[in-house]
Structures are given as structure tokens and as C-alpha cells.
Structure 1
Amino acid sequence: KKKWTIVQRKQHQRQQLKEFDDKRAIKISTFLVSVILTVAFPNTNVWITHMLSSLSQKSNMQSSLYAILCTVNVIVHSVRHERKMEKDRPLTDIIAEEVHMNNQYEEFRMGASSF
């Protein structure tokens, strides 16, 4: 509550006041608790994880699964992470290629000096 009042005050200063969405908070917390319970107690049947697994197996229900994952902010996080990885990947590929080229050059140079 205290953190929310501070956030509200800051948003009011910036004229970006948002209302707290109780339903969304309940959905997110229910999802997280369900996942934690499933990991902690694998022999128990927690309804939301079984529902998600059955939705993922049926191709005609993919839109429903996507909607659920968007509601609990799983999709937003993974899309952001994938974009970050795409930006970092070319840099690591270039570095790996340069290291490989340097190694080949060193091997060539060492082979040429032995003649």
C-alpha cells in the first residue's frame, strides 16, 4: 500500500495517473502461486498449470493460451528478452568470428615459420 501511494504521488506529479487494477493483480498472483505450488509439490494437481498444459497441446486453443500469458505479463517479458538477445547476438557472432580468424592466422604463421 505504501509503495502504491508513492507511485500514485509520482504519477500525479507527471500527470500520468493510473488506477490500480485489482482484477489484474489477482490474476497475476494466482498464476504465480499456482506455478510455485506446482514446483514445490509436483504430486498435487493445481488446476491452472494443468489447464495451461492442455491449452498448449491443442492447436486451436493457442489464442486462448496467448491471452492468458499476456494477462500475467509472461509474453511481454519474453518478447523483450528475445529482442535484447537479437541485439546482442550479432555482436557475439562478430567477436567469435574474429577470434576464429585470429586463431587461423596464428596457426598459419606458426606453420610458415617452421619451414
Structure 2
Amino acid sequence: MAGGASFVERRRFLRLNSDCPVQLKQMPQNYPVQIHNSISEDISEGGLQLSSFYFYPVHCKLLVELFVSQEAEPIKVVGRVVWVEQMPYQERYKVGIEFSDLNEESRVYLRQVISDSALS
């Protein structure tokens, strides 16, 4: 970068640019159940980025169902919104979600999907 500044990569996990179907339910359970469908933009073991017509506030907890394969069951994980950005000239939002309780089996499966896609 110009002026001697350098960019520091803070991500801990390999990211896969992927457009997987995602279903989101806001938590806690006493909220009226509303399921919002979306499409991921990128996925990692630590979280995902997606675009949504629905606004989720930062720190909002979500139940995320991630459909990474047509052959396998969806990955179900609780996540929290870490950033939100309205898309210019649209009523859509880019949303960053950090996974908070991805079980080991799902983590290994997701890691394999990402690794396989990165190699192809």
C-alpha cells in the first residue's frame, strides 16, 4: 500500500466464495418465529457473509441453517451478527455472521467442503 501502510489479514480461517442457500431464524426462542431465506457470499469455519432483504442488528443471535450440499443435511449452528452494511441504492444488507457453537462434526465437514472447493 502507498505510504508504507500495510494490510494485516485478521481472518483465522480459509474463506470460500460460495452461494449456498441459508435459512435464518432470530433468537431467542420467544421471538415470533420468522424464517428468512438468503444466499451466502462466502463461508469459513468461523462464519459467513450473506446478503439479506431483512435487517439484523449487530449482536443479534441467529439460528443458521447452511445448505452446503444437496446430498447432505444442512449444517445448523448458532451465530451472531458482527457487522451489517446497507447495499448502496438498495433495500438489502450485507451481513457478517460469526459462528458461536459449531459442533466438531459440522466443523470438520465444513472444513472438508471448503478445502475440496479450494482445490478444484
By the TM > 0.5 criterion, same fold? no
Higher relative contact order, structure no. (Cα contacts within 8 Å, ≥ 6 residues apart): 2
TM-score by length of 1: 0.23
TM-score by length of 2: 0.22
Rg larger in structure: 1
